[in-house]
Structure 1
Amino acid sequence: MGGFGGWFARLFGGRAVADARAHAELAEARLRDAIDAIPEGVVFLDAEGRYVLWNRRYAEIYHRSADLFRPGARLIDTLRVGVARGDYPDAVGREEAWLAAREAKLATATGERHEQQVADGRWLMIEERRTSDGGVIGLRVDITELKRQAEALEQALAHAEAAHRAKAEFLADMSHELRTPLNGVTGLAQALDATELDPGQRALVSDIRAAARQLDRLVSGLLDYGDADLAADAVHTAPDRPLRVLAADDNPTNRKVLELMLQAAGVQVVTVENGHEAVEAWRVGGFDAVLMDLRMPVIDGLAAIRAIRTEETASGRPRTPTVVLSANTSPADRAASAAAGADGHIAKPIRVEALFAALDAALSPQAAQAL
């Protein structure tokens, strides 16, 4: 097309292309801003495992390797350089095996979570899933504080158990050390009382036996007080009607934290790592309550709760109180939990008092079903 018409078409065609390019650049900028606003590290890879996009937090988490990040670079290659630099303590001495295992997880990218320690001592939770175009979206969450809490809980539990044992041993030793000579005094007084004594001597023996009985009452009272103190300790760690709780969470650190929190209070806990295992364990029975994570592989938490509620209705089994444990606590998330049949919904990271308050509320006969 020539002349004015051709010029007109070229002019407006060029503007259309420019407008489309401007819109695309604006959309990309908004996408980057949105991704940078996410508090966790996020990375997008193509189908070949090459970097496409990552946010600011991802670069901060892997600051020792951030100089290697560029579009088109393979993540496994940056890991290989990081291993050579000593960025991953778990890889030391088994570098190739570590890289092979990491590459295998990246190739499957099923959403299964695993942990990774970096050189500065921090612990990361890694989750990677396939996108619709065959690429991978990866999530990195710093769980260092959660690991620290788990270790502190474990140490506190060990110290409490050690103190309880020491107290029990002390009382046993005291009982032996006090009652043995007291038994001797009482026995000798009885033997002496059976001999020929003048009235004055018999009065002295009677006074000795009376004093021994008083001393026996004092010793018994002291030891009974100590035993009651031990029993009070036991109530804190092992209630009279012990609860049995099923806890489902695919993150091993989260499971460890739950075990420590519950076991410290004398609760028997069984842990599983996905919704399918949770339903199967519940079917076996014997659980007083269920703690359910939401984002899990195979079957997520909401689907698992719905399956349990459906089977309860169909079989006539009693309703098992269920509390959701999740980092997602918006009104919509709570409503989804309630709709699935949960009796409570508490936020991660989990606080001991919040966990037991939610369990108490769910186990109460008057527990409200609305969250």
Structure 2
Amino acid sequence: MSGTGFGRLVRFLGASLARMFGGRALAAAEAEARAADARLREAIDLLPEGVVFLDAQGRYVLWNKRYAEIYHRSADLFSPEARLADTLRMGVARGDYPEAVGREEAWLAARLDKLANPTGERHEQRLADGRWLMIEERRTSDGGVVGLRVDITEMKRQAAALEDALHRVEVASRAKSDFLSDMSHALRTPLNGVMGLAQALEATELSPRQRTLAQEILASARELDGLVGGLLDYGDAAHEADAAPAALPSTVEAAPLRILAADDNPTNRKVLELMLGAAGAEVVSVENGREAVEAWRAGGFDLVLMDLRMPVMDGLAAIRAIRKAEGAGLPRAPIIVISANTSPDDLAASASAGADRHIAKPVRAETLFEAISAVL
């Protein structure tokens, strides 16, 4: 602890009182001034924050014990004749300020600018031992500076812990979404085959007994679809559930179309071929997104039906590739996504990639033809 302001005050008061009251008054005044000085220093030392007073030239006037503890690597430089600016320069040279490493002059210039213009604006400072400080400096009435240093290391640690916890929650949320998406795909893909083939079977010439069995298969499949939707918290609204039996149309807008269908599941490809073939459309099926892009580049298709989860190239990448090729001069392709994944994120991803519609598996004939009619 050191300071010159109070010493000068004591000498001034002593000289003045000596002239007025003589030796005894002088001694009493000096004793009182020393006592006041000691009380003030003790009060400042008891503060839990670091406090420093500078004169108008930036020299140390007074600092408390906490300030010296915070800057223990530089405490040997504190003296009434020293300037804080010089201590900062020495600290930079010693490596006391990690953020200054590699940009010493720029860091020092910015710090000295704040010191020369102490507006009270708070800023942070990291020390070599890993601690973080909050610094606040203000101008005093005599042109000096009073500075406050608060150790915020624990606050920083807690903030980092909170950020880490929030990140873990976000990761867990993504994992949950991925799990639901995987479950949706795993359950609805075979269910799509069951419902599609049952619908195709129902549209053929059947005996009354056979038609009843086909309708029971469809009813059971729809009930299972509803259960799957509830389990995955998607519900039936995403794919416009309809409890009424669906009959395949014989002539619709699909009749003159040449359609490219991409799906890695052979049963699902068969379902689309049966549905569209019954309506008179020509269907070319491929197993992955890359084959879909290559087939589309060859030309001659009126419509693309695209699954999302496929090997080699997924549906979203294939849609983006087709849209990019269209920008180079190919005609625009109406694209309908047919996927077991129907979460809001999946719908948004399809739209962002460039799909015109997104319908859910298990796909129903009436839903498929409504989508085709809409995009055409």
Normalised-by-shorter TM-score class? 0.5 to 0.7
Alignment of 1:138-153 (within 5 A): 138-153=147-162
Match of 1:106 in 2: 115
Q: For 1:45, which of 29, 54, 57 is the aligned residue? A: 54
Contact 1:124 1:141 in 2 (8 A): yes
Which moves more between the two structures, 62-71 or 149-158? 149-158
Q: Deviations over 1:266-290 (max 9, x none)?
A: xxxxxxxxxxxxxxxxxxxxxxxxx
Contact 2:133 2:151 in 1 (8 A): yes
Q: Which has the larger radius of gyration?
A: 2
Amino acid in structure 2 at the alignment position of 1:63: H
Match of 2:31 in 1: 22
Paired-residue identity, %: 78
The answer to whether 1:163 aligns with 2:172 is: yes
Match of 2:231 in 1: 222
Amino acid in structure 2 at the alignment position of 1:128: E
Q: What is the deviation of 1:197? A: 4.6
Give the total of aligned pairs.
218
Match of 1:67 in 2: 76
Superposed CA RMSD: 2.5
Contact 1:40 1:141 in 2 (8 A): yes
Match of 2:271 in 1: none
Q: What is the deviation of 1:204? A: 4.5
The answer to whether 1:83 aligns with 2:88 is: no
Q: What is the deviation of 1:196? A: 4.4
Runs of 4+ in 1 over 4 A off after TM superposition: 196-204
Which moves more between the two structures, 24-33 or 88-97? 88-97
Which moves more between the two structures, 143-152 or 156-165? 156-165
Q: What is the deviation of 1:220? A: 1.7
Q: What is the deviation of 1:129? A: 0.9
Identify unmatched segments of 5+ residues in structure 1: 1-8, 228-371
Amino acid in structure 1 at the alignment position of 2:105: E
User: What is the alpha-carbon distance in structure 2 between the residues aligned to residue 81 and residue 40 of structure 1?
Assistant: 23
Q: What is the deviation of 1:200? A: 6.1
- Aligned to 1:49, the other structure's residue is in SS state coil
User: What is the alpha-carbon distance in structure 1 between the residues aligned to residue 221 and residue 91 of structure 2?
Assistant: 77
User: What is the alpha-carbon distance in structure 2 between the residues aligned to residue 69 and residue 183 of structure 1?
Assistant: 80
> TM-score normalised to the size of structure 1?
0.54
User: What is the alpha-carbon distance in structure 2 between the residues aligned to residue 133 and residue 190 of structure 1?
Assistant: 92
Q: What is the deviation of 1:70? A: 1.8
Amino acid in structure 2 at the alignment position of 1:149: Q
Q: What is the deviation of 1:25? A: 0.5
The answer to whether 1:178 aligns with 2:191 is: no
Alignment of 1:140-289 (within 5 A): 140-197=149-206, 201-202=210-211, 204-224=213-233
Q: For 2:128, which of 119, 127, 138 is the aligned residue? A: 119
Amino acid in structure 1 at the alignment position of 2:130: G
Contact 2:74 2:87 in 1 (8 A): yes
Assess, with a 3 A threshold, how the Cα gap between structure 1 residues 34 and 226 changes in structure 2: closer, same or farther. farther
- Aligned to 1:165, the other structure's residue is in SS state helix
Q: For 2:137, which of 128, 136, 155 is the aligned residue? A: 128
User: What is the alpha-carbon distance in structure 2 between the residues aligned to residue 176 and residue 84 of structure 1?
Assistant: 61
Using CA pairs under 8 Å that are at least 6 residues apart, name the structure with larger relative contact order, 1 or 2.
2
Contact 1:186 1:209 in 2 (8 A): yes
User: What is the alpha-carbon distance in structure 2 between the residues aligned to residue 80 and residue 88 of structure 1?
Assistant: 10
Q: Deviations over 1:310-334 (max 9, x none)?
A: xxxxxxxxxxxxxxxxxxxxxxxxx
- Aligned to 2:56, the other structure's residue is in SS state coil
Q: What is the deviation of 1:60? A: 0.9
- Aligned to 1:110, the other structure's residue is in SS state coil
User: What is the alpha-carbon distance in structure 1 between the residues aligned to residue 144 and residue 223 of structure 2?
Assistant: 83
Contact 1:111 1:127 in 2 (8 A): yes
Q: What is the deviation of 1:23? A: 0.8
Q: Deviations over 1:239-297 (max 9, x none)?
A: xxxxxxxxxxxxxxxxxxxxxxxxxxxxxxxxxxxxxxxxxxxxxxxxxxxxxxxxxxx
Contact 2:229 2:235 in 1 (8 A): no
Assess, with a 3 A threshold, how the Cα gap between structure 1 residues 187 and 205 changes in structure 2: closer, same or farther. same
Assess, with a 3 A threshold, how the Cα gap between structure 1 residues 27 and 216 changes in structure 2: closer, same or farther. same
Amino acid in structure 2 at the alignment position of 1:67: D
Q: What is the deviation of 1:225? A: 6.9
User: What is the alpha-carbon distance in structure 2 between the residues aligned to residue 134 and residue 200 of structure 1?
Assistant: 103
Q: What is the deviation of 1:97? A: 2.3
Assess, with a 3 A threshold, how the Cα gap between structure 1 residues 220 and 96 changes in structure 2: closer, same or farther. closer
